[in-house]
Structure 1
Amino acid sequence: MNLKRFFGGLLTILGIVGLIYTAVIFAGTSGETRDIKSLIIYGILGIVFFMSGISVVRTTKDES
């Protein structure tokens, strides 16, 4: 089992969860400042985790 590939998959899943949580907050927002801040924070973290996870999986070579 390749540890880097596992870590990349975990980062990707965390990114997807963060983006889904951002969408849930966006759907239920009333436009308050706290809602907008949480949208920005969770959205940016979700994008960063997702992109870094995809990058790690893509650049890791398959060695058995």
Structure 2
Amino acid sequence: MNAKSIFGIVLTLVGLVGLIYGGMDFAKGGVAQASFVYLILGGIFFFAGIGLIRSTRA
């Protein structure tokens, strides 16, 4: 397991946490900008991590 795989896993986990937190905040009725920021950044981190993991596996 090299550094790229570990970084991809970390990015995926951070993105997943951001998506869950943003989804919970949005489901509570919070229509603030913070909900959308968490959802957008979580999605970016999640898909970047998935892409990095896919590109490092042989």
TM-score interval, smaller chain: 0.7 to 0.9
Normalising to structure 2: TM-score of the pair? 0.88
**Deviation string for 1:11-34 (max 9, x for gaps)?**
00000000000111012225xxxx
Task: Name the CA distance, whole Å, in 2 between partners of 1:26 and 1:40.
Answer: 8
What is the Cα-based RMSD across aligned positions, in Å? 1.4
Structure 1 stretches lacking a partner, 5+ long: none
Say which one has the larger Rg: 1
Alignment length (residue pairs):
58
Would you identify which runs of 4 or more consecutive aligned residues in structure 1 move more than 2 Å? none
Matched, 1:9 2:5: no
Normalising to structure 1: TM-score of the pair? 0.81
Task: Name the CA distance, whole Å, in 1 between partners of 2:18 and 2:34.
Answer: 11
1:61, CA displacement in angstroms? 3.5
What percentage of residue pairs aligned between the two structures are identical? 43
Structure 2 stretches lacking a partner, 5+ long: none
Q: What SS does the aligned partner of 1:29 have?
A: coil
